Amino acid sequence: MTTHERFTAKGAGLLIVDIQERLMPRMRFGARIIANAERLILVAKTLGIPTFATEQYPKGLGPTVSPLRELLPIPHEKTSFHALGADGLEDAMRDRGLTHVTLCGMETHVCIAQTALELLNRGYRVQVPADAVTSRDKFDWEFGLRRLENAGVVVSSSESVLFEWVEGWNHPGFRQVSQLVKTFHSPEPV
């Protein structure tokens, strides 16, 4: 496998990291992150891409935000910053035969970065759509993404992920992806 392989639906997994109620008000572009995560989840469901979620100390930081909570399986609770520290998550991913994982959530420079690096260390290919991750500070978001890219993570956009998953217009899921892209209105300016 090379790092230049496309991230198609085959072998794909989507991991939503810590998009939680009490964290969200302090995050940059929170509404945009939620909207992009929702698009990714909806398309993953349509294409049969396994989706996983984590929550960092939900007793203190609250549950996953609505409407994502209704779309996701029961989140894996974690106390470590990397998601693979959550009980049962790695086994669930391995059981589904994943070869590559798309990450979205927060915070880019902490939980997303540590999860991505841990996934790379364990042999997964990783992509992070920059418009589906966030941090409280733009500096941390930007340098978190730079660090990941330098480590071998593919940094992309949520729209590019959606179209790469379907591969072409003749894919049965293309219409839904196309419709989501056409009707999407970014809740916040870039």
Any idea which of 60-74, 124-138, 160-174 has the lowest mean pLDDT?
160-174
Distance CA 27, CA 118 (A): 24
Domains of the chain, each with CATH number or no CATH: 12-183 (3.40.50.850)
Distance CA 179, CA 189 (A): 21
Name the band, by pLDDT with cuts 50, 70 and 90, for residue 3: low
Average pLDDT, the chain: 90
The amino acid at 167: E
> Residue 15 in contact with residue 50, Cβ under 8 Å?
no
What pLDDT digit, counting tens, does each position of 165-188 carry?
Answer: 988 888 887 888 888 777 776 666
What token pair was written down for 103? 């990450």
Residue 188 is predicted with a pLDDT of 61
Distance of CA 100 to the CA centre of its chain: 12
Identify the three-state secondary structure at position 29. coil
Distance CA 152, CA 103 (A): 14
pLDDT(1) > 50: no
Q: Name which residue leads in pLDDT, 50 or 1.
A: 50
Number of H helices, E strands in the chain: 8, 7
Average pLDDT for residues 127-151, to the nearest whole number? Answer: 95
Average pLDDT for residues 124-146, to the nearest whole number? Answer: 95
What pLDDT digit, counting tens, does each position of 21-52 carry?
Answer: 988 888 888 889 999 999 999 999 989 999 99
Choose from 27-41, 60-74, 116-130 the range with maximum mean pLDDT: 116-130
Residue 172 is predicted with a pLDDT of 81
Any idea which of 24-28, 84-88, 139-143, 152-156 has the lowest mean pLDDT?
24-28
Residue 25 is predicted with a pLDDT of 84
pLDDT(124) > 90: yes
pLDDT(144) > 90: yes
Query: What pTM was computed for the model?
Result: 0.92
